[in-house]
Chain A
Amino acid sequence: MAAVQVSLPLPVLPQGWSEEKDFKPIGQLSSATQRNIEPVGPHFLAHARRKRHHRTFSEDERIQAQENVKRVEDDDAGDISEPEDPLMLQRDAKDWKGQDHYAVLGLSKYRYKATESQIKRAHRKKVLRHHPDKKAAAGSSEDDSFFKCIQKATEILLDPVKRRQFDSVDEAAGVEPPSKKQAQKQGFFKSWSPVFEAEGRFSKDQPVPKLGDDNSTKEEVEEFYNFWYNFDSWRSFEYQDEDVPDDNENRDQKRHVERKNNNARKKKKTEDTARLRALVDTCMQGDERIKRFKKEQQAGKNKKRLEREAAEKKEKEDKIKAAEEQERLRKEAEEAAKAERAEGKKAKEAAKNAVKKNKRVLKGSVKDANYLVPAGEEAGAKRVDDVLNDVEAVMAKIEPEEMALLASKLNGLKVADEVGSIWGDEIKRLVDAGKIEDGDTKVLGK
């Protein structure tokens, strides 16, 4: 055969990969299946030529070779044989509604589970045995009644709609719910599981959740009961209809029967729904898991309460702590403010003192300079008043800092000229700065 062309590239050889002769054997093939090749076609003949190689195979080898060959053909329905009830063989085909179609085909143990192919094979098997031509050949009567039963059974079971109608009323496929005693004796799960498995055949939703066991989780159990309390069933009851007369003569009668059938179907459906509900109720009542989950839930609730209380307590404590903390912070702040205020007071005092002191220096400076009268002269009372008034006037207008600066300039000076010129400068500065008017002073700065 031609080589396959692959356009995706081979991977790059990993760094450091090294093997003897660049080949590394790792595994072996999985085992193989023995099968027959069809002895047909030119390629097979070439294969046969190679394989035979002038050899002749024996009968023994034939048997040996065939021993393990995988079989392709089915056994003829080995799984669908069951003894035939002699009473069933005498059934009248006219009474097909009363017949167990599965039993007729030998599928009693499969019922609604039987596959289409099983039904077909079962049918064939029954036909092979009961075909009327064979009975005639065997010299028995021309009675083909059971053969008709077989045909009817097959017709119904191979038609999905008819089969559902029959399966709906196939009591033999149902499992009765266990009595309390039975449930106790066999165990809850063992006795109830088959009941639900059987009921599950009516479910439109498949697969149907299983009853489970003691290890099922709460979610699983809840899902199970939820499912069954909301069961969506395809079960219907037309199979049990009364025959509708099919002649056109009696229309009223026909309509009457139809109405009756319809009502009966509805009634049966309602009853069936109620039946199932009651069944689920009973099961749930006996389900120890439900009780256990309730207890656990109760325990869970207590736990929750304790947790809640603890939380509340903690919250309270936290609140108190927070309040305390706030208080502490508040106090701290207060203290700091206090300290700050105290600090301010001191500074003010100091400033006041400084001002006082500086005022003294200023006043003292004119006094020391003998009120700025020329040397040898006596300062008259008026002169003293005027100078001191000027000093007062200046002091009233200037800031403490200016005062301090002025005081520092005047400090230690006694000579009238010097003191006078400093005052003069200061007054001139103040007049320039617009802080005092030229006429505010009478002596100083003149």
Chain B
Amino acid sequence: MTVVIDGGLAEGEVNAIGISFGNSNSSIAYTTGEGKAEVIANEEGDRQIPSFLSYIEGEEYHGTQAKSQLVRNSNNTVAYFRDYLGQDLDSIDPTPCHASAHPQKHESTVAFSIQDTEPETQNVVTVSEITTRHIRRLASSASDFLGKKVNAAVISVPTNFSEAQREALTKASKAAGVDVLQMISEPTAAVLAYDARPEAEVKDKMIVVADLGGTRSDIAVIASRGGMYSILSTSHDYETAGAQLDQILVDHFAKEFMKKHKTDPRQNAKSLAKLKLEAEATKKALSLGGNASLSVESLADGVDFASTINRTRYELLAGKMFGAFTRLIEDAVKKADLDVLDIDEVILSGGTSHTPRISTNLQRLFPPSTRILSPSTLPTAIDPSSLSARGAAIQASLIQEFEKEDIEQSTHPMVTVTPHLRNAIGVLVVSEDVKKGLFTALVERETAVPCRRAGVFAVPREGGNVIIKVCEGIRDIKITKKEKAKTNGKADSDSDSDDDQEEEDEEVKEKVWKVGTVLAEAAIRDVKKGGKVEVTVNVGVDLGVQITAREVGGKGGVRGNLDKPRSTENGSA
């Protein structure tokens, strides 16, 4: 008989969930019996649970309830603290906490001074302790929902979360009774959430994950190869996120209020807090509809304020900020030494990714072949706010039966650090230009080795003997300048002559393959009319290559090996 402990868990039984822990919001998710990830709503029905704690007369409020305390009880409300975990005061940015409890130095860590036990008693509560309380609340909501005590989790964190931050989070979580099985990076979690859908197929693709949150935006460029993910570049921006969009609406409505009432609601902390909360709600409404209203009771000087704004106006006001999001993503692609033409998919993650204009702007940045996964560009997109939590839940379901030691060893650099191919490997086929072979990639660049890829090739109509030329392919961006057709010339009125000047010659960019090192040639003889030839490339850890080719359905075939490169230069580029 197994010993049943608190919450119905057998001894040693692990009941794990996925947690996304953001500065602004957190989410909890689990996997159903069929392996589907679902986000859990807390008692208040929230799936995006504000990462806020607030104390009134010793009572703790969490989530949305805590957030609303920013108006009346800001000094005892702790918010936007995730990034402070495991850091000292010198290395944190206190800006987001301007309107709530301020971070302060406490020994080598950060703490808040709040009245969390009883009124008039100021306690210093460390960010670790705050985190513990927050996770306890999250786990308790999940346990209530699942009817079974949650005692473990996979938590998603930013890619630049330091070792010290990870350690602090592990400890704080443990103190809340939640064992951190693994911390995974937020962008990878988002990719996994999409890849774990039953309809998804394993494909080599280059992905940009844009995680646009409340206090920060994080971009990652990820090579997805055979279901494995390698991060090629990351960018972080703390000035381009949801809070800045809120501010634009706050300024807009404050000015409108001032026109009538002379008082600037931004000058009074309470008025500002009210306006901010409402502006954020208005902003979210503008993601869904063309119009949104805002109403604040007693905004300033006891005057109520109500107004509306339409999306066009909002997009005009926020145009510059939206441009900054686009540039941020463009920069990350450049940083990975890639071109927008190389990107197969853009996954929009984080709450701010609901903003329609941000994703439609991306449609213009990327070529039409790039899939932009966001609610306003793809009906089947997953709710961007839930991606990290879903990914974490899936990972949790995969490893919750593992021994601790197993997880530790599987994530060891001896396992994770792997050579990635610099160039693609492929085969030359005949194109319209008969003299030049056309490179067809079998193994994409940035594929981790060992790896194995196969391709099935057509042969000339009559069949016969064919040659298989295996080579490296180097991706090149071909730019052709197309002169813009001057519309209608001088016959037209002068009024549009200004536009003409701005119209520069159009550049057409194209992705082409340059044939690099030729690796091997092989012959397949007497292929049947209408037959096909299968070529398989196997790359070993030492970069030795094995090539096999055979007629599909035929006997025999050709097999050969290539030596590993003589000098394995290491990738510290």
Cβ of B525 within 8 Å of any chain A Cβ, yes or no, is yes
Please tell me which one of the listed residues B227, B442, B459, B565 contacts residue A42 in the complex, with CB atoms under 8 A apart.
B227
Pair B519/A26 contact, Cβ less than 8 Å: yes
For this complex, 28 residue pairs linking A to B, each with C-beta atoms less than 8 Å apart, are A1-B202, A1-B203, A8-B429, A8-B438, A9-B459, A10-B458, A10-B467, A13-B464, A14-B467, A17-B521, A23-B522, A30-B472, A31-B565, A33-B420, A34-B419, A37-B228, A37-B416, A41-B195, A42-B227, A47-B415, A48-B409, A52-B409, A57-B412, A57-B415, A61-B413, A69-B413, A128-B91, A131-B94
| C-alpha spacing A62/B163, complex, angstroms | 14
Cβ of B421 within 8 Å of any chain A Cβ, yes or no, is yes
| C-alpha spacing A296/B503, complex, angstroms | 41
Cβ of B440 within 8 Å of any chain A Cβ, yes or no, is yes
A253: shortest Cβ distance to chain B, in Å?
22
Which 7 pairs, one residue from A and one from B, show the smallest C-beta to C-beta distance?
A: A43-B227, A33-B571, A23-B560, A32-B419, A13-B465, A65-B413, A68-B570
Of the candidate stretches A133-141, A298-306, A415-423, the one touching chain B is: A133-141
8 Å CB contacts to B: which residues of A55-99? 56-57, 61-62, 65-70, 72-73
Say whether, besides A14-B467, A68-B570, A127-B95, A36 and B231 are in contact (CB < 8 Å). Answer: yes
Pair B227/A10 contact, Cβ less than 8 Å: no
Cβ of A338 within 8 Å of any chain B Cβ, yes or no, is no
Cβ of B345 within 8 Å of any chain A Cβ, yes or no, is no
Cβ of A28 within 8 Å of any chain B Cβ, yes or no, is yes
A69: chain B residues within 8 A (beta carbon): 413, 417, 571-572
A7: chain B residues within 8 A (beta carbon): 458
Pair B572/A68 contact, Cβ less than 8 Å: yes
8 Å CB contacts to A: which residues of B487-537? 516-525, 533-534
A433: chain B residues within 8 A (beta carbon): none
Say whether, besides A6-B429, A39-B415, A48-B410, A68 and B466 are in contact (CB < 8 Å). Answer: no
A34: chain B residues within 8 A (beta carbon): 417-420, 570-572
Pair B94/A11 contact, Cβ less than 8 Å: no
8 Å CB contacts to A: which residues of B212-250? 222, 226-235, 237-239
Pair A29/B202 contact, Cβ less than 8 Å: no
A138: chain B residues within 8 A (beta carbon): 105
| C-alpha spacing A136/B192, complex, angstroms | 44
Say whether, besides A29-B519, A34-B572, A117 and B227 are in contact (CB < 8 Å). Answer: no
B495: shortest Cβ distance to chain A, in Å?
23
8 Å CB contacts to A: which residues of B260-294? none
B70: shortest Cβ distance to chain A, in Å?
17
B327: chain A residues within 8 A (beta carbon): 116
Pair B419/A9 contact, Cβ less than 8 Å: no
Pair A5/B419 contact, Cβ less than 8 Å: no
CB nearest neighbor in A for B412:
A57
B521: shortest Cβ distance to chain A, in Å?
5
| C-alpha spacing A289/B466, complex, angstroms | 62
| C-alpha spacing A29/B237, complex, angstroms | 37
Which of A1, A4, A10, A34: most chain B Cβ within 10 A?
A10
Pair B93/A3 contact, Cβ less than 8 Å: no
Cβ of A38 within 8 Å of any chain B Cβ, yes or no, is yes
A73: chain B residues within 8 A (beta carbon): 159-160, 234
Cβ of B372 within 8 Å of any chain A Cβ, yes or no, is no
Cβ of A25 within 8 Å of any chain B Cβ, yes or no, is yes
A52: chain B residues within 8 A (beta carbon): 409-410, 415
Pair A133/B103 contact, Cβ less than 8 Å: yes
| Interface flags, A217-254, vs B, CB<8A=1, else 0 | 00000000000000000000000000000000000000
Pair A28/B566 contact, Cβ less than 8 Å: yes
A117: chain B residues within 8 A (beta carbon): 235, 331
Pair B409/A57 contact, Cβ less than 8 Å: yes
| C-alpha spacing A160/B519, complex, angstroms | 50
A247: shortest Cβ distance to chain B, in Å?
13
B520: chain A residues within 8 A (beta carbon): 23-27
Pair A25/B459 contact, Cβ less than 8 Å: no
Pair A65/B469 contact, Cβ less than 8 Å: no
4 more contacts with CB within 8 A, not counting A35-B230, A41-B395, are A10-B533, A27-B517, A70-B572, A72-B234
| Interface flags, A155-187, vs B, CB<8A=1, else 0 | 000110000000000000000000000000000
| C-alpha spacing A61/B412, complex, angstroms | 9
Please tell me which one of the listed residues B160, B238, B449, B521 contacts residue A19 in the complex, with CB atoms under 8 A apart.
B521
Please tell me which one of the listed residues B222, B453, B459 contacts residue A4 in the complex, with CB atoms under 8 A apart.
B453
B563: chain A residues within 8 A (beta carbon): 25, 28
A71: shortest Cβ distance to chain B, in Å?
8
Q: How many residues of B contact A (CB 8 A)?
A: 125
Cβ of B478 within 8 Å of any chain A Cβ, yes or no, is no
Pair A137/B398 contact, Cβ less than 8 Å: no
Q: Interface of B with A (CB < 8 Å)? A: 89-95, 97, 102-105, 159-160, 182, 184-185, 188-189, 192, 195-196, 201-204, 222, 226-235, 237-239, 320, 327, 331, 391, 394-395, 398-399, 409-423, 425, 427-431, 437-438, 440, 442, 446, 448-449, 453-461, 464-469, 471-472, 516-525, 533-534, 539, 543, 545, 547, 558-573
Pair B229/A41 contact, Cβ less than 8 Å: yes
Pair B523/A17 contact, Cβ less than 8 Å: yes
Say whether, besides A34-B571, A133-B94, A39 and B182 are in contact (CB < 8 Å). Answer: yes
Q: How large is the interface on A (under 10, 10 to 19, 20 to 34, 35 or more residues)?
A: 35 or more
Cβ of A40 within 8 Å of any chain B Cβ, yes or no, is yes
Pair A4/B413 contact, Cβ less than 8 Å: no
| C-alpha spacing A366/B266, complex, angstroms | 157
Say whether, besides A4-B455, A28-B566, A29-B421, A37 and B448 are in contact (CB < 8 Å). Answer: yes
Pair B519/A6 contact, Cβ less than 8 Å: no
B424: shortest Cβ distance to chain A, in Å?
11
Pair B417/A65 contact, Cβ less than 8 Å: yes
| C-alpha spacing A120/B391, complex, angstroms | 30
Pair A4/B454 contact, Cβ less than 8 Å: yes
Say whether, besides A25-B520, A26-B520, A124-B238, A6 and B416 are in contact (CB < 8 Å). Answer: no
Which of A39, A66, A116: most chain B Cβ within 10 A?
A39
B519: shortest Cβ distance to chain A, in Å?
5
A114: shortest Cβ distance to chain B, in Å?
14
Say whether, besides A23-B520, A31-B568, A138-B105, A72 and B159 are in contact (CB < 8 Å). Answer: yes
Say whether, besides A38-B188, A41-B229, A41-B395, A28 and B517 are in contact (CB < 8 Å). Answer: yes
Pair A12/B539 contact, Cβ less than 8 Å: no
Say whether, besides A34-B417, A37-B228, A26 and B561 are in contact (CB < 8 Å). Answer: no
Pair A13/B525 contact, Cβ less than 8 Å: yes
A42: shortest Cβ distance to chain B, in Å?
6
Please tell me which one of the listed residues A48, A131, A154 contacts residue B415 in the complex, with CB atoms under 8 A apart.
A48
Please tell me which one of the listed residues A49, A137, A159 contacts residue B89 in the complex, with CB atoms under 8 A apart.
A137
B90: chain A residues within 8 A (beta carbon): 128-129, 134
| C-alpha spacing A158/B440, complex, angstroms | 44
Pair A33/B573 contact, Cβ less than 8 Å: yes
Please tell me which one of the listed residues B230, B320, B331, B564 contacts residue A36 in the complex, with CB atoms under 8 A apart.
B230
| C-alpha spacing A31/B421, complex, angstroms | 7
Say whether, besides A1-B226, A45-B399, A70-B572, A29 and B89 are in contact (CB < 8 Å). Answer: no
Pair A41/B192 contact, Cβ less than 8 Å: yes
Pair B231/A72 contact, Cβ less than 8 Å: yes
Cβ of A123 within 8 Å of any chain B Cβ, yes or no, is yes
Say whether, besides A1-B202, A32-B420, A52-B415, A25 and B560 are in contact (CB < 8 Å). Answer: yes
Pair A39/B517 contact, Cβ less than 8 Å: no
A154: shortest Cβ distance to chain B, in Å?
8
B234: chain A residues within 8 A (beta carbon): 72-73
A25: chain B residues within 8 A (beta carbon): 519-520, 560-563
CB nearest neighbor in A for B332:
A117
8 Å CB contacts to B: which residues of A310-365? none
CB nearest neighbor in A for B423:
A30
| C-alpha spacing A17/B545, complex, angstroms | 22
A28: chain B residues within 8 A (beta carbon): 517, 519, 543, 545, 562-566
